[in-house]
């Protein structure tokens, strides 16, 4: 249930490929005139594969849960395992609705979980980012804000407004963005190679990484 997705999982391969391309504009420079738009486009191209990937994971996790519930009530350890998995796949409000039924001895646990989980869609960073800022979830804002600072995007924003954004200055900032993202992926072991894979628990970090960079690129484009 918690294994990484295999290398044959095409939505994951697309996400990994787009992150790799985001970090390596130099290789595309023969065909691309605007690195700013190129990097923004590579992030935007992760929306569909991420949605498909999370839909698959949610479907797989639900099926595993139904099978275990059919065999009997869940103990504390299994409830905790499933709470961790669903927390990585759902928005804060939906997760709260699910979590109250993932406790040992919860009444009508199987029926309640089916009623709550069947209509739920996985959390989408792009859907959340399209909402007005005051309507975004506080936990999501904290996570993206943490990544924004961790990647040094706040400092690079200061650099952008300190002097006129000449092409050379913009290129310098984007080189630093790519380097910081590549270093973060290496430290946190977020894959940027096709042969790598990631677990469901990496997804919130990957989504926050994409959202933080989308915010930066859109703010200073």
Whether 165 is in a domain gets the answer yes
How many angstroms separate the Cα of 37 from the Cα of each of 6, 56, 189? Answer: 31, 30, 26
Both tokens of 79, joined, read 């409830």
Q: Is 61 exposed, middle or buried (0-12, 13-18, 19+ CB in 10 A)?
A: buried
Spatial CB neighbours of 95, under 8 Å, sequence gap ≥ 6: 86, 87
What pLDDT is recorded for position 187? 84
Residue 195 confidence (pLDDT): 58
Q: Angle at CA 6, nearest 5°, toward 55 and 65?
A: 45
Residue 205: partners with Cβ closer than 8 Å, 6 or more residues away = 147, 188, 190
Number of domains in the chain: 2
What pLDDT, on a 0 to 100 scale, did the predictor assign at position 27?
Answer: 64
Same domain, 48 and 150: yes
Q: 7, 12, 21, 10: which is closest to 181 by C-alpha?
A: 21
Q: What does the pLDDT read at residue 30?
A: 61
**In-domain check, residue 1:** no
195 and 168 fall within a common domain: yes
**8 Å CB contact between 198 and 5:** yes
Q: Same structural domain for residues 145 and 194?
A: yes
Map tokens 């690195």 to a residue. 35
The pair of structure tokens assigned to 164 is 């006129």
Same domain, 77 and 105: yes
152 Cα distance to chain centroid:
19
Are 172 and 138 in the same domain?
yes
**From first to last of its 221 residues, what are the pLDDT tens digits of the chain?**
444 444 345 888 899 889 989 988 766 556 677 888 999 999 999 999 999 999 999 999 999 999 999 998 899 999 999 999 999 999 999 999 999 999 998 889 999 999 999 999 999 999 999 999 999 999 999 999 999 999 999 999 999 999 888 888 888 999 999 999 999 988 877 766 655 666 777 889 999 999 999 999 999 98
Provide the residue count of the chain. Answer: 221
Shared domain for 48 and 61, answered yes or no, is no
Task: Verify that 79 and 113 share a domain, yes or no.
Answer: yes
Of the three residues 117, 133, 158, the one that is the final residue of a domain is 117
Same domain, 174 and 145: yes
Is the same domain home to 107 and 191?
no
190 shares a domain with 129: yes
Other CB atoms closer than 10 Å to residue 8's CB: what's the count?
8
| Structural domain boundaries enclosing 63 | 57-117
- What is d(CA 8, CA 216) in angstroms, rounded to the nearest whole number? 32
Say what the pLDDT of residue 128 is: 96
Asked which of 93, 117, 141 is the last residue of a domain, the reply is 117
């Amino acid at each position: 249930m918690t294994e990484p997705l295999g290398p044959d999982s095409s939505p994951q391969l697309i996400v990994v490929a787009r992150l790799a391309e985001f970090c390596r504009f130099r290789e595309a420079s023969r065909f691309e005139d605007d690195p700013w738009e190129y990097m923004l486009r590579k992030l935007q191209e992760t929306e569909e594969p991420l949605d498909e990937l999370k839909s698959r994971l949610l479907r797989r996790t639900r099926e595993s849960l139904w099978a275990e519930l059919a065999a009997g009530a869940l103990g504390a350890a299994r409830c905790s395992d499933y709470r961790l998995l669903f927390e990585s796949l759902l928005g804060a409000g939906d997760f709260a609705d699910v979590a109250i039924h993932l406790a040992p001895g919860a009444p009508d646990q199987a029926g309640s979980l089916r009623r709550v989980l069947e209509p739920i869609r996985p959390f989408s960073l792009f859907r959340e980012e399209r909402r007005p800022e005051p309507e975004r979830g506080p936990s999501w804002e904290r996570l993206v804000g943490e990544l924004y600072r961790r990647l040094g995007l706040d400092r690079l924003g200061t650099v952008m407004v300190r002097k006129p954004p000449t092409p050379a200055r913009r290129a310098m900032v984007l080189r630093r963005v790519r380097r910081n993202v590549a270093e973060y992926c290496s430290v946190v072991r977020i894959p940027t190679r096709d042969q790598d894979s990631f677990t469901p628990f990496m997804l919130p970090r990957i989504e926050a990484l994409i959202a933080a960079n989308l915010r930066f690129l859109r703010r200073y484009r």
